Amino acid sequence: MIRPLDGITVISLEHAVAAPFCTRQLADLGARVIKVERPGSGDFARGYDQRVKGQSSHFTWINRSKQSLALDVKQPLAKSALLELLKTADVLVQNLAPGAAARMGLSYDELKAHNPRLIVCDISGYGADGPYRDKKAYDLLIQSEAGFLSVTGTPDTPSKSGISVADIAAGMYAYTNILAALMLRGKTGEGSHIDVSMLEAMGEWMGYPMYYAYDGAPPPPRTGASHASIYPYGPFQAGDGKTVMLGLQNEREWKAFCATVLLQPDIAIDTRFDSNAQRNANRAALQAVIVETFAALTAEQVVARLEAAGIANARVNDMADLWRHPQLQARERWRTVATPEGDVPALLPPGVNSAFDYRMEPVPAVGQHNATILAELGWSAEQAAALQNSPCA
C-alpha cells in the first residue's frame, strides 16, 4: 500500500511534546522518522511517568512508528553522523532550547548549502527573533502568556487546560507547515525554513476571545464548563445527581427546548430569554427554571427529552469511559502497537481515508536503530556500538 509520505525521511532533534507530536503524524502518513536522542536517557519525556507498563504516557502516545538513534551531538563523531544523514534527508525538525541548534551548526542557512532540498522546521516558545526570542517556554507558561488562562476556569479560579494545548497547537502547525513545504518543494525543487512558535500557535487559537474583546470591550468571562457567550450551553444536574451536558445554537432550538424539554413553551417568548444576548444576561434566572425542571427527572429522562427536541447533548465522560466509548469501538478506531515493554492499544489518527491505511508501528527503545541507521552510512557494528555507549558531554 502506498502512503502519502512514503520515501520521505525526517530527522528530528526532539523532546517533550510539540516536535514529537508533529513528527508522529508525519510517521502516520508513511514518513521515515529518525528520532535523535541522548544516549542512555533519551528524550526526557520518557521519564514523565510510568503509567503504561512502566513507560511514560506522553512518550507512548506520540512516538510510535519512529526509529531511535542515540547520539550525543556535542561529540564530533556523533555530529558528523548527523550531518551525513542530513545531506540526504527531506526534513529536519527541532525543538531544542532557544539557539541550541544554531550553535551546533544546524541552522537552515548552514544546512541548505549541503542539501538545498532540505526543509528545516524550528519549533520554539516565541520564535526566532523579537525580544522574547531567548526566553524559555513550557506549555503552561505559554497558556498563561497567550491569555488562555484568563478565559478558562471559574470566575474565582483561572485554570490551565487538562492537556498540553500549547504544545499540541505548535505541533499541529509544524505538521501542516511541513506538508505545505513538501508540496511547494515539489513545484520549485527547493527546501525552505519554517519558524513555528508556541505563542503564535496559541494566539491563532485565541482568535474568538480576542475579537470578543475587540477595541477595549470586556473579554469573555470564565464560566467553568459552561459556554462563555451562549446560553444554555453547558452542564446541568438531573434529579438523580448525574450531569447532562447540553448546547443550544439558535432560536429554533431554543423554542424546541422550551416546548419539548422544559414543557413550558411560553418561556421562549419571555423577554428575559427571547434572544441569546438576553439569555446570557439573565443566566441565573434561566438556570433556576432549567434546574427546577430537571430536578424531577433522571439524567436518562432528560436526555430522552433532549433527543426528542433535537437538542445536542453529551455525557460527561472520564478517561475510563473514553477507553470503552461505543462510537470508537463501532468505527473500529483501535489498533495494537508494540512498545519495549509489550503491546498497548492505540487510536488511529483522526480522518478515515479510503486510499491508504495509517502506519501504526512500534514505539522504539533508546538507540534501538543505531546499528541499522549507521550501517546505511557505512559504519561497522563495532563503531555504532561504541558511539551509542559513549558518555554524553
pLDDT per position as a tens digit, 339-353: 999 999 999 999 999
Give the rounded distance of the alpha carbon of 179 from its chain centre.
17
- Residues near 318 by Cβ (< 8 Å), separated by ≥ 6? none
User: Where do we find the cell 438556570?
Assistant: 287
Long-range contacts of residues 115-118, Cβ cutoff 8 Å, at least 24 apart: 115/86, 115/87, 115/88, 115/89, 115/191, 116/190, 116/191, 117/90, 117/185, 117/189, 117/190, 117/191, 118/86, 118/89, 118/90, 118/91, 118/92, 118/191
Q: Are residues 357 and 263 in the same domain?
A: no
C-alpha grid cell for residue 307? 433527543
Q: What is the mean pLDDT of residues 71-84?
A: 92
Q: Based on the fold, state whether residues 198 and 285 are members of the same structural domain.
A: no
Q: Write out pLDDT tens, residues 100-155.
A: 999 999 999 999 999 999 999 999 999 999 999 999 999 999 999 999 999 999 99
pLDDT digits (tens, 9 = 90+) for 181-200: 999 999 999 999 999 999 99
Helix (H) or strand (E) holding 84: helix 76-86
218 pLDDT higher than 90 = yes
Cell numbers describing residue 34: 529518525
**C-beta atoms surrounding 314 within 10 Å:** 12
Domain-located, residue 25: yes
Pair 369, 256 in one domain: no
| Residues 27 and 151 occupy one common structural domain | yes
Classify residue 323: in a domain, yes or no. Answer: no
Looking at the structure, do residues 312 and 335 belong to the same domain, yes or no? no
Chain centroid to CA 371: how far? 32
- 63 shares a domain with 175: yes
Mean pLDDT of 25-33: 98
Residue among 15, 58, 114, 227 flagged as catalytic = 227
Question: Is residue 300's pLDDT more than 60?
Answer: yes
Total-model pTM: 0.92
- Domain enclosing residue 360, as ranges: 9-206+331-388
Residue 1: per-residue pLDDT = 84
Can you give the pLDDT at residue 370? 92
> Are 151 and 297 in the same domain?
no
Domain final position from 258, 284, 316: 316
| Pick from 32-36, 95-99, 153-157, 332-336: least confident | 95-99
Active-site residue 227, yes or no? yes
Per-residue pLDDT, 389 = 61
**Residue 207 has what pLDDT?**
97
Q: How far apart are CA 351 and CA 61, in angstroms?
A: 17
What is the predicted pLDDT for the residue at 16?
Answer: 94
**Does 30 fall in a domain?**
yes
Per DSSP, helices labelled H in 259-393 are 276-281, 283-294, 299-309, 319-323, 326-330, 370-376, 381-388
pLDDT of residue 390: 61
Q: Which pLDDT score is estimated for 29?
A: 98
Calculate mean pLDDT across residues 165-177: 98
pLDDT grade, residue 383 (50/70/90)? confident
> Which pLDDT score is estimated for 245?
96
288 and 355 housed in the same domain: no
